[in-house]
Amino acid sequence: MIIEPRTRGFICTTAHPVGCAENVKNQIDYIKSKKTINGPKKVLVIGASTGFGLASRITSAFGSHAATIGVFFEKPPAEGKTASAGWYNTAGFETAAHKEGIYAKSINGDAFSNDIKRETIELIKKDLGKIDLLIYSLASPVRTHPDNGKRFRSTLKPIGASYTNKTVDFHTGNVNEVSIEPGTDEDIENTVTVMGGDDWQRWVSALQEADVLTKDFKTVAYSYIGPELTEPVYRKGTIGRAKDDLEKTAFTITDALKDIDGKAYVSVNKALVTQSSSAIPVIPLYISLLYKVMKAEGLQEGCIEQIHRLFNDRLYLDEIPTDEEGRIRIDDWEMKANIQEQVAKLWEEATTETLPKIGDLDGYTTEFYNLFGFRVPNVDYTKEADEMTGIPSIT
Ligand code: NAI
Ligand code: NA
């Protein structure tokens, strides 16, 4: 069928299989254009279908020929109805990997559940034996707790006081003020339950108990810090509490992995347009100004450039460079003083009238559509596409 974008706020309810596969191909080509990374060999990626998780899977497979198992939660297609973008991304990835004889299998289901953990471990035992890297890149607004079946919802709220600042509706380009009421203690707890470190720790301990981790096993989860400007809604808000918890959990996991010399890291990544970040108030305006400045300075990166740098310049060095809190930093370019000074200045000037000139609103909007396989160069959108495109090897 002919597939067009259908957007509702910060989501797009359709996705284009050819555009998604083309995005994946571009990321694969980027990795292939670099020299081989002395990287992982057998990798499990949780949240493998979009954003940083997909880039981690691609970097593993095409950077060091790693076998990958990807876990994600995506909507399969139905006759006349497209799948979600992560489904088509995975179809594109697996097809490309298999063509080059690279092992890739996927599991579609709720990573928070005990069942999916069990199923994943069985697949590792059957096909890989042991894994040497676990990437934890899950981003979800809800978690059904595996112990009691209760559903928890995460929020994106400030703590202590309401927060008012500018934001942009990137569909219309309108810059307006938003006010967000502070989260309650329950909001904080719920957000930590969904996006904190508990599920990461459960994955590692289930894998360790099943004896499917190699000696020197590593695991990495992704975090964000960002500038003062967004602190009330991000790092010092409810989601920031969850990231504090995630970062603390790295030490707990490392302690638990002493016997096998395993290590858990948090990598602090750059702000990027993904399905998750488009949902956060204020952040889209920040990103559109940041992109403008970073592009002008020649420092702009997408998910694949970020993860390539993570593997090549951090994670697989003999000595992994970290900050004083033990975190890997690949947000170093975003956080450069001269970048942040320029963004802060533009922030003051940003209005509906000025933004098209001082910010990269076009870049933001294009990347948003790209997430769903739309507006991708070299794709003919007037041609029929097969919405039933499947994933070659999925459980
Ligand atoms: P994303 O929305 O692109 O990817 C989320 C992934 O999680 C998808 O593969 C999705 O299928 C999977 N997922 C969601 N719920 C699931 C469930 N119940 N079971 C199994 N899989 C599930 O998100 P993005 O932006 O790549 O985020 C990944 C991590 O990176 C998050 O921890 C996020 O906080 C962090 N991060 C994101 C930044 C950004 O600007 N986008 C910046 C720095 C860190
Ligand atoms: Na991801």
pLDDT of 10 > 90? The answer is no
List all residues whose CB is within 6 A of at least one atom of ligand 1.
47-53, 71-74, 86, 110-112, 137-140, 222-224, 269, 271-272, 274-277
Residue of 114, 136, 138 with the most ligand 1 atoms within 8 Å of its CB, for mutation: 138
Q: Report the separation in Å between the CA atom of 259 and the middle of ligand 1, taken as the mean of its atom positions.
A: 30
Read off the pLDDT band of 146 (50, 70, 90). Answer: very high
* pLDDT number for residue 225: 98
Cα separation, 56 vs 54, in Å, equals 5
Position 278 confidence tier, pLDDT thresholds 50, 70, 90: confident
pLDDT in tens, 166-176: 999 988 999 99
Q: Which ligand is nearest to the CA of 283?
A: 1
Pairing outcome for strands 263-268 and 328-329: parallel
Give percent of the chain with pLDDT exceeding 70. Answer: 100
Tell me: the pLDDT tens digits for 238-252? 999 999 999 999 999
Element counts in the chain: helices (H) and strands (E): 12, 13
What is the spatial distance between Cα 45 and Cα 57, in angstroms, rounded to a whole number? 7
Q: Of all protein residues, whose CA lies closest to atom 15 belonging to ligand 1?
A: 140
pLDDT of residue 281: 85
Residue 71 contacts residue 107 (beta carbons within 8 Å)? yes
Alpha-carbon gap, residue 240 to 132, rounded angstroms: 29
Catalytic residues: 234
275 pLDDT above the threshold of 90: no
| Residue whose CA lies nearest to ligand 1 atom number 17 | 110
User: Which residues have CB atoms below 5 A from the ion given as ligand 2?
Assistant: 47, 51-53, 137
Check whether 277 has a pLDDT greater than 90: no
Q: Mind listing the pLDDT tens digit for each residue in 59-115?
A: 999 999 999 999 999 999 999 999 999 999 999 999 999 999 999 999 999 999 999
Q: How far is the CA of 350 from the centre of ligand 2 (A)?
A: 30
CA of 339 to the centre of ligand 2 (A): 26
Say if residues 222 and 303 touch (Cβ distance below 8 Å): no
| pLDDT tens, residue by residue, 284-323 | 999 999 999 999 999 999 999 999 999 999 999 999 999 9
Expressed in angstroms and rounded, the spacing between residue 345 Cα and the centre of ligand 1 is 30
Q: 137 C-alpha vs ligand 1 centroid, how far in Å?
A: 5
Which ligand 1 atom minimizes the distance to the CA of 243? 34
Tell me which of 239, 244, 276 to substitute to probe ligand 1's pocket, judged by most ligand atoms within 8 Å of the beta carbon. Answer: 276
Tell the residue nearest (CA) to atom 38 of ligand 1.
271
Between CA 203 and CA 24 the distance in angstroms is 27
pLDDT one-digit tens code per residue, 355-386: 999 999 999 999 999 999 999 999 999 999 99
Tell me what pLDDT residue 9 has.
83
Per-position b or e across 270-302, b if 16+ CB within 10 A of its CB: bbbbbbbbbebbbbbbbbbbbbbbbeeeeebbb
Interval 15-40: pLDDT, tens: 999 999 999 999 999 999 999 999 99
- 3-state SS record for 284-335: HHHHHHHHHHHHHCCCCCCHHHHHHHHHHHHHCCCCCCCCCCCCEECCCCCC
Going by CA atoms, what residue is nearest to atom 6 of ligand 1? 47
- Residue of minimum CA distance from atom 24 in ligand 1: 51
Which atom of ligand 1 lies at the shortest distance from residue 49's CA? 9
Task: Find, among 6, 83, 17, the residue nearest to 385 by Cα.
Answer: 17
Residues 339-353, mean pLDDT to the nearest whole number: 97
The chain-wide mean pLDDT, for the chain, equals 97
Ligand 1 centre to CA of 274 (Å) is: 8
**Alpha helix (H) residue ranges in the chain:** 17-32, 51-64, 85-99, 114-123, 185-195, 198-209, 238-256, 283-296, 303-310, 337-349, 355-358, 361-371
Q: What is the interface pTM, i.e. ipTM, of the complex?
A: 0.98
pLDDT band with cut points at 50, 70 and 90 for residue 141: very high
Higher pLDDT, 208 or 11: 208
Q: Mutation test of ligand 1: which of 20, 50, 219, 332 has the most ligand atoms closer than 8 Å to its C-beta?
A: 50
Whether 276 shows a pLDDT value over 90: the answer reads no
Phi, psi of 34 (to 5 degrees): -100, 165
Considering the entire predicted model, what is its pTM?
A: 0.98
Buried b / exposed e along 348-357 (16+ C-beta atoms within 10 A): eebeeeebee
Mean pLDDT across 341-346: 98
